[in-house]
Structure 1
Amino acid sequence: MIPLLNKSYVLNHPATGVSGSHFAFPEKVLQFGTGVLLRGLVDYLIDKANKQGIFEGRVVIVKSTPGAVSEFTDQDNLYTTHIKGIAGGKLVNSSLINASISRVLQSNAEWQEVLKTVHQSTLQIIISNTTEVGIQYVEENILQGVPASYPGKLLAVLWERFQHFKGAAGTGMVIVPTELVVNNGQLLREIIGQLATFNQLPAAFMTWLDTENHFCNSLVDRIVPGKPHNLAELEEKAGYTDKLWIDVEPFLLWAIEGNEQVKSILSFHQADPRMLITPSITPYREQKLRILNGSHTVSVPLAYLSGLNTVHECMEDPYMKAFFQTVVLKEILPTIADIGPQVAAFAQDVLDRFANPFIAHKLLSITFQESSKMNARNVQTFCRYYAGQQQLPAKMCLGFAAMLLFLKPVKQETGKYYGKRGEEWYVINDDNAAVFAAYWEQVTLTDETTIGAMVAGICSNTRLWEEDLSKLPGFTAAVTTHLLGMLQQGVTAYTAGYSKV
């Protein structure tokens, strides 16, 4: 029988890289959330630093969702991180055992224990990932029972810290939310202040909150699929069973806004240059939005209408692989301000991530809210490219036309619009679906005049786009040509014959 991964197992197997000293490190981090992103990114970096003798601290986790924590306790909070994918153009397939977690506390059942964690002077860091919905203001009394919201729990913890140390200097916390919300640290601080006022907490606490604590904006990026489908096979090879096993891609980025004091407290950043502590994370948010998200948005409708179903399939298809490469490296990258080695490396990393054979990223899921994503991620890229090059980004223009074709409804049922690829129906999950349906109703499919009028109307619609794209020289004409060609010849035939793209 294969043994369970636990403390006894690793101490009897030195090759795991986990020693007795790793279990003796003090608790330095309070983490809200047991999810795979935190375990695959934050806890991965802490474990990496511990094994390099840098941070030497452990993580106590608060589980706010219902259910027991026995999966963690049964394994002494150990779990496998399996890194699979492409990095530097080469296949990566390696695994490690993470020993960074000391305890997992269930918030409803063990709330007093959660509060006691911040009595430790060594504990100076609070991390969270409670989904975007988690950072919301909920008017509640945080002094009676267990607060329902994450900000409520956080305020209760900070109030407990303040009372225990009597508001002394140097007793504040570095608080880093990882929820995918712009300016997440700033937003969380505003909610905490509002909630503290509602709870009538004293002025001394409000001063301590401002002067002793750091709420840091942060940006995280790593795909963590979680448990693999072939877990039994992997456990057989590893020699132990692991209910907490997670797969992660090789790439990671964690950018945090902070000063030198924050950098000193988050010393585990020294273990990996991909964890960045900087005065502003705006450039990193910009590069992710434009290069990674933008290339997805402008390429995926074309790929899907060409008969492909996942991002990896795109990178196996010669035409779409070349399309992605040109969009990323030649059309989007030149529009990023202050291109340096880090940004260029990020662009190459993006292409490696797209080529990861272990992640089946479905194209249809990426098309969710396609038009609003096109506006947020690519409209400025079109404008910047033209301003810098005095010409249009050819492949992105084709991608924009493919988006219009993807948003062409063929039928409407139960309030939903459907498009069609061959004999397959797909739901158009876009809040602007009705707007595009109204444009398409005015069109004769093979008539250049009506197609051109529709494209001109869409491009000039500043309710859809933050810029009037019809004013971009040649844009409307290029999109019209592509759209008419795909309608007349079919997507695959048109792209194969369009030599200039």
Structure 2
Amino acid sequence: MKELNKETADKLSRPERIIQFGEGNFLRAFVDWIVYHMNEKAGFNSSIVVVQPIEKGMADQLHKQDGLYHVNLQGLEKGEKVNKLEKIDVISRALNPYIEYEAFVKLAEQPEMRFVISNTTEAGIVFDPSCRLTDASASSYPDKLTQLLYHRFRTFGGDTSKGLIIFPCELIFLNGHKLKEAIYQYIDLWELDEAFKSLGIAN
């Protein structure tokens, strides 16, 4: 069987509007599958940049496949048995911030970015006081996200129309609240602009 990539399969180019922290099966076979169908059926016209949340991950493998992969659907659909293979083409690229930090930070400079999706496991949303604003190898997802949000804030001068809608999918109680709490902890730890903090993060 030929390796799946843009040389062996068609892939449309779409605007990058989603940043996704995590590259596991749940996000790729559920969330990214939904984005695929939104593109196909609702004109969503968006692609996803995957960010590898830990040092050892799948960014390299996704890169080799040009972000392409298949989802096999089996079960019942409208009362009928289905068994079909769908080629998911919504991932534009995959970044390993531990070795591609500059490319990661530059995601914040793309004006069309609108959404952040994450599933960094139940251990992902933690505050690590040893992390610094300039750490290229930050171990914490909230650290990476705060870096990204602050860089976007500075790039666009606090323009609230460039704010991001964040969907944490980690399977922990009050995941959004815990993520917000960790971000504010980093804002205080790093003594970031009061204007950045005062913009607030809505639940």
Taking structure 2 as the reference length, the TM-score comes to: 0.91
- Residue 147 (1) aligns with residue 135 (2): no
Q: 1:459-470 to 2 correspondence within 5 Å?
A: none
Greater per-residue helix proportion: 1
- Residue 36 (1) aligns with residue 25 (2): yes
Q: Equivalents in 2 of 1:207, 1:170: separation in Å?
A: 15
- Residue 170 (1) aligns with residue 169 (2): no
Structure 1 counterpart of 2:172, which letter? V
Q: 1:62 corresponds to which residue? A: 51
Given that 2:105 and 2:151 are in contact with CA atoms closer than 8 Å, whether structure 1 keeps it comes out as: yes
Structure 1 counterpart of 2:9, which letter? V
> Aligned-pair distance for 1:136?
1.5
Given that 1:173 and 1:214 are in contact with CA atoms closer than 8 Å, whether structure 2 keeps it comes out as: no
Helix, strand or coil for the counterpart of 2:160? Answer: coil
User: CA deviation digits over 1:264-314, x for unaligned, max 9?
Assistant: xxxxxxxxxxxxxxxxxxxxxxxxxxxxxxxxxxxxxxxxxxxxxxxxxxx
Given that 1:142 and 1:156 are in contact with CA atoms closer than 8 Å, whether structure 2 keeps it comes out as: yes
Q: Equivalents in 1 of 2:147, 2:153: separation in Å?
A: 10
Helix, strand or coil for the counterpart of 2:109? Answer: coil
Q: Relative to 1, partners in 2 of residues 1:61 and 1:214: Cα closer, same or farther, differing over 3 Å?
A: farther
Q: Which runs of 5+ in 1 are unaligned?
A: 12-19, 216-501
Q: Equivalents in 1 of 2:59, 2:72: separation in Å?
A: 22
Given that 1:46 and 1:100 are in contact with CA atoms closer than 8 Å, whether structure 2 keeps it comes out as: yes
> Aligned-pair distance for 1:64?
2.5
Q: Equivalents in 2 of 1:171, 1:151: separation in Å?
A: 19
User: CA deviation digits over 1:433-466, x for unaligned, max 9?
Assistant: xxxxxxxxxxxxxxxxxxxxxxxxxxxxxxxxxx
Q: 1:96 corresponds to which residue? A: 86
Paired residues in the alignment total 201
> Aligned-pair distance for 1:129?
0.3
> Aligned-pair distance for 1:69?
3.1
Q: Equivalents in 1 of 2:178, 2:139: separation in Å?
A: 18
Q: Equivalents in 1 of 2:123, 2:135: separation in Å?
A: 23
Given that 2:118 and 2:167 are in contact with CA atoms closer than 8 Å, whether structure 1 keeps it comes out as: yes
Q: Equivalents in 2 of 1:131, 1:68: separation in Å?
A: 15
Q: Equivalents in 2 of 1:113, 1:132: separation in Å?
A: 26
> Aligned-pair distance for 1:107?
1.5
Q: 1:195 corresponds to which residue? A: 186
Q: Equivalents in 1 of 2:73, 2:144: separation in Å?
A: 33
Match of 1:48 among 18, 34, 37: 37
Taking structure 1 as the reference length, the TM-score comes to: 0.39
Match of 2:126 among 132, 136, 146: 136
Q: RMSD of the alignment, in Å?
A: 1.7
> Aligned-pair distance for 1:68?
6.3
Q: Equivalents in 2 of 1:175, 1:138: separation in Å?
A: 21
Given that 1:175 and 1:214 are in contact with CA atoms closer than 8 Å, whether structure 2 keeps it comes out as: no
Helix, strand or coil for the counterpart of 1:91? Answer: strand
Q: 2:69 corresponds to which residue? A: 79
Helix, strand or coil for the counterpart of 2:177? Answer: helix
Larger RCO (CA within 8 A; separation ≥ 6): 2
Greater per-residue strand proportion: 2
Q: Relative to 1, partners in 2 of residues 1:128 and 1:68: Cα closer, same or farther, differing over 3 Å?
A: closer
Given that 1:129 and 1:179 are in contact with CA atoms closer than 8 Å, whether structure 2 keeps it comes out as: yes
> Aligned-pair distance for 1:46?
0.6
Q: Equivalents in 1 of 2:32, 2:58: separation in Å?
A: 21
